[in-house]
Amino acid sequence: MRKEGKNFLAKALKRILEPFYQKLSIKLKADLQVAEQQRLLHHLIGRVDTLSIQQLALTNQIKTTSLIVSGVYNSTEDETSTFWSASIIYDIFAILKNQSQSSISVFNYFNEITQVALKGKSIIFVSGVDPLYSQIAKKQGAESIVRIEMNPFVANKRLTNDESRNEKVIFVYPTNMATLSYPLVDLLFVPRQAVASFLIKHHLFNLGSRVKQKAFITLAVKTYSVFSTSKTTPFALEENQSLTIFNDNYIRRQLHKAGFFEVKCINSQGIGIKNKQFDKKVTHLSYQNDYKVVRDNKLKDKKLFNDNHMSIKTYVANKLPELT
């Protein structure tokens, strides 16, 4: 009797569990196949990414070669690191792209940002600026205007000497900036960030010695760097935003090396910035350490700005110290 009971239980379990077991094993096998397929797919995607990167690098090499052959780019820098070369090429591409600016932003540049008196002054604008800059400068009484244009591929009839605006245009390949001589002027304006990014890495070439009063330059800056003195990571490429973002201290060092005694930030715009003149840092040229900080910023709550915060800042570099 007991033996018959055991056989019945075994048959019942087999009848219930076997299909369940079969279904489970089929599902497990299918899952394994899916996992294997997914693994293979990921491998393929990774391979495609690698190929894309290699293709991009190859494309950049071709573009670089084109630039070199055309005479636009000729690397003479001692800093031959891949990053440095890449950043310079990036700047040149951005300069050649020549993105337009809104008329309102051009208007605000003189009236709100730089707020400098132009009457009787001689001026240089560097590269790709909207004609409205010259019109406003002329209207405000500028005595003479020179535009340095670094876009050799532009066959634009606008880019000619304009006697009605007392404006002269000088064409130059970007990396030949140091080989030309420029007139002595009172003021220098570099409102385009792409142009400023290129110029600041080269200490403005020899433009500093041609400026008698002030230079205005606009750049994207890591906001936290205005509260420190560290010059590490002088700049970084933010490809998503098509920007080079700088360390504030690096900018100051470069402007002092370019031949300006005093550097201040006169306007900052960005997320978390309520007061456009919040940056009070003033630096003076020093014989010993490139520059010295004569007035520093004091941040009450350092958590306000983290590594991701960026601001668009306009600096004024003065030839002479502003006496207090």
Binding positions for another protein, rule: CB under 8 A? 181, 184, 208-212, 258-261, 284-288, 292, 319-323
Q: What is the DSSP string of 2-29?
A: HHHHHHHHHHHHHHHHHHHHHHHHHHHH
Amino acid at 193: Q
Q: How many CB atoms lie within 10 A of CB 184?
A: 10
| Partner residues linked to 185 by β-bridges | 211
Nearest distance from C-beta of residue 180 to another protein, angstroms: 12
Compute the Cα dihedral for 92, 98, 102, 103 and give only its sign.
positive
Nearest distance from C-beta of residue 200 to another protein, angstroms: 16
Nearest distance from C-beta of residue 201 to another protein, angstroms: 18
SS3 content of the chain, % helix, strand, coil (to 5): 45, 20, 35
In the complex with another protein, which residue's Cβ is closer, 143 or 162? Answer: 143
Nearest distance from C-beta of residue 214 to another protein, angstroms: 12
In the complex with another protein, which residue's Cβ is closer, 61 or 209? Answer: 209
In the complex with another protein, which residue's Cβ is closer, 118 or 285? Answer: 285
The tokens describing 127, both together, are: 């590269």
Nearest distance from C-beta of residue 212 to another protein, angstroms: 5
| Partner residues linked to 292 by β-bridges | 284
In the complex with another protein, which residue's Cβ is closer, 129 or 282? Answer: 282
Rg (C-alpha) for the chain, rounded Å, is 30
Contact in structure between 139 and 159 (CB atoms under 8 Å):
no
In the complex with another protein, which residue's Cβ is closer, 168 or 212? Answer: 212
